[in-house]
């Protein structure tokens, strides 16, 4: 699997073929979008809606939209924030992780998370955070099994939905005194 930044044209738009691929990825995750309410009709997610959502995300100064490809096929997407809007929060965030629904429970999500963690680790970051919607039990289980720990509860900044906040140390042995 390789990670690449989403290509953006000079006018801020996404190339048509990429937008089509990403829209198909979003549409494959109907259950998540039904829980999140991010789109008015999770059964009919359009390219225009996805383009607008990604444009909003990419407006963030430290936001990256990363595409995960395997054998040339788009299998996942991650939106990361190098800095949370709260200046007191030192950690980068995973804002969204999507895996093609046909690839759920195949290890693709775990592999994608490891690649993201490695990017942050290489950049010298000590930990990574994320928020899981409280009503998304499958996501909570997924992140817990990847050693993310509950650190609190809050509402998301955009839509005020209740969330579980999680964090993972990226270099846990670096903070452990040697014997």
Q: What is the arithmetic mean of pLDDT over 10-24? A: 94
Could you tell me if 147 and 173 are in contact, meaning their C-beta atoms sit under 8 angstroms apart?
Answer: no
Counting the structural domains of the chain, the total is: 1
Pairing mode, strands 127-133 and 162-169: antiparallel
> Would residue 154 count as lying in a domain?
yes
- The model carries a pTM of 0.92
State whether residue 128 is helix, strand or coil.
strand
> Would residue 179 count as lying in a domain?
no
pLDDT tens digits for 55-103?
999 999 999 999 999 999 999 999 999 998 888 899 999 999 999 999 9
> Would residue 178 count as lying in a domain?
no
How many Cα atoms occupy the beta-carbon half-sphere of 151 within 13 Å?
16
Radius of gyration, CA atoms only, the chain: 16
Q: Compute φ and ψ for 112, nearest 5 degrees.
A: -60, -45
Task: Give the span between the Cα atoms of 15 and 8, in whole angstroms.
Answer: 7
> Would residue 129 count as lying in a domain?
yes
Say yes or no to pLDDT of 170 above 90: yes
- Domain of 18 in residue numbering reads as 2-173
Q: Token digits for 30?
A: 């109907």
Task: Give the span between the Cα atoms of 28 and 41, in whole angstroms.
Answer: 13
Q: What is the arithmetic mean of pLDDT over 113-118? A: 98
Domain holding 90: CATH number?
Answer: 3.40.630.30
């Amino acid at each position: 699997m390789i990670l690449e930044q989403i290509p953006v044209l000079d006018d801020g738009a996404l190339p048509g073929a990429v937008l089509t691929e990403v829209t198909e990825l979003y549409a494959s995750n109907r259950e998540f979008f039904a829980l999140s309410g991010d789109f008015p009709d999770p059964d009919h997610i359009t390219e225009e809606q996805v383009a607008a959502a990604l444009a909003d995300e990419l407006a963030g100064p430290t936001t990256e939209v990363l595409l995960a490809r395997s054998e040339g096929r788009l299998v996942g997407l991650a939106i990361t924030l190098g800095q949370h809007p709260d200046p007191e929060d030192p950690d980068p965030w995973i804002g969204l992780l999507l895996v093609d629904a046909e690839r759920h429970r195949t290890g693709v999500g775990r592999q994608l998370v490891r690649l993201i963690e490695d990017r942050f680790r290489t950049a010298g970051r000590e930990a990574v955070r994320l928020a899981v919607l409280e009503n998304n039990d499958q996501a909570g289980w997924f992140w817990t099994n990847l050693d993310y720990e509950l650190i609190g509860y809050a509402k998301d900044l955009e839509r005020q939905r209740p969330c579980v906040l999680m964090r993972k140390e990226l270099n846990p042995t670096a903070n452990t005194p040697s014997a």
